[in-house]
């Protein structure tokens, strides 16, 4: 299988299936398309050769192409039922899917005002955003509640016990909390640190720190170095 992704420093959607597959030892080949191709014709043309949606991530397995992060998780669950992509119990599996669907469809304020930027440290921007954007505060409170409730029910160390696609799905949120210094309750903050230290997220972060590509469209709080 081949997973097509964007820049690891910026692409939160690409991160989700990548860290899930890496964390669950599902073999794949990575193909990265740099956002420096441009979010216009260059990147879009390259993506259109792979997927009609022209967005990352895309999973290619033989002649089958899957171009949505949740659809990729479902395909991996069907393809590798023994790897723990979703929790084993029906109740837990349904809950995990529900939380991921909520993340997939919502939290637009957090996405807009705190875009993923792994190599940056922007606590001052985070303070400003929290002071000026009540919808970001609401998003953060909801995420904290989601995590805390799941952890209290499962006992940890991850949302539903062992690492699963649900944790892969929230890894970019944990990174946003780190980059922008966003406040979390003690259980949620401890979970975020465990999650980022897990094999899949840790490997993604290490790769992101080696990219050294500055994409202005993804940098609302910084100007190009030099």
Task: Give the pLDDT score at 225.
Answer: 65
Domain harbouring 56, CATH code: 3.40.30.10
Mean pLDDT of 108-136: 98
Is residue 222 included in any domain, yes or no?
no
Within a domain: residue 47? yes
Which string of b and e fits 4-36 if b means at least 16 CB within 10 Å? bbbbbbbbbbbbbbbbbbbbbebebeeebbebe
pTM above 0.85, yes or no: yes
Question: Residue 136 maps to which CATH number?
Answer: 1.20.1050.10
* CA 29 to chain CA mean position, Å: 18
pLDDT, tens digit, for every residue of 144-188? Answer: 999 999 999 999 999 999 999 999 999 999 999 999 999 999 999
With bands split at pLDDT 50, 70 and 90, how would you rate the model's confidence at 3? very high
214 domain residue, yes or no: no
Residue 57 lies in a domain: yes
64: three-class secondary structure by DSSP: strand
Do 77 and 104 lie in a common domain? no
Within a domain: 221: no
Residues 76, 155, single domain; the answer is: no
- Write out the residue range of the structural domain in which residue 123 sits: 90-206
- Answer whether residue 198 is part of any domain: yes
- Model confidence at 24: pLDDT above 70: yes
Q: What pLDDT is attached to residue 49?
A: 87
Cβ partners under 8 Å of residue 210, min gap 6: none
Q: Looking at 37-46, 49-58, 102-111, 198-207, which range is the least confident one?
A: 37-46
Q: Are residues 41 and 97 in the same domain?
A: no
Mean of pLDDT over the chain: 95
Range in 50-54, 94-98, 133-137, 155-159 with the lowest mean pLDDT: 50-54
Task: Supply the pLDDT for residue 7.
Answer: 96
Express as a percent the part of the chain with pLDDT over 70. 97
């Amino acid at each position: 299988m081949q997973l097509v992704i964007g820049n690891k420093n910026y692409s939160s959607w690409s991160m989700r299936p990548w860290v899930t597959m890496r964390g669950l030892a599902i073999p794949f080949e990575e193909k990265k398309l740099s956002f420096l191709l441009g979010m216009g014709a260059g990147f879009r043309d390259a993506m259109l050769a792979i997927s009609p949606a022209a967005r990352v991530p895309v999973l290619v397995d033989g002649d089958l192409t899957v171009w949505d992060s949740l659809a990729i998780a479902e395909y991996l669950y069907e393809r590798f039922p023994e790897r723990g992509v979703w929790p084993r119990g029906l109740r837990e599996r349904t809950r995990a899917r529900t939380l991921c669907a909520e993340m997939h469809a919502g939290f637009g304020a957090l996405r807009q005002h705190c875009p993923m930027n792994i190599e940056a440290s922007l606590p001052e921007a985070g303070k400003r955003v929290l002071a000026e954007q009540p919808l970001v505060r609401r998003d953060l409170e909801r995420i904290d509640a989601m995590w805390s409730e799941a952890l209290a029910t499962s006992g940890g160390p991850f949302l539903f016990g062992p690492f699963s696609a649900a944790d892969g799905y929230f890894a970019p949120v944990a990174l946003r909390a780190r980059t922008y210094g966003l406040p979390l309750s003690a259980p949620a903050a401890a979970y975020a640190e465990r999650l980022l230290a897990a094999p899949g997220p840790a490997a993604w972060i290490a790769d992101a720190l080696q990219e050294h590509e500055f994409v202005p469209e993804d940098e609302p709080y910084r100007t190009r170095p030099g």
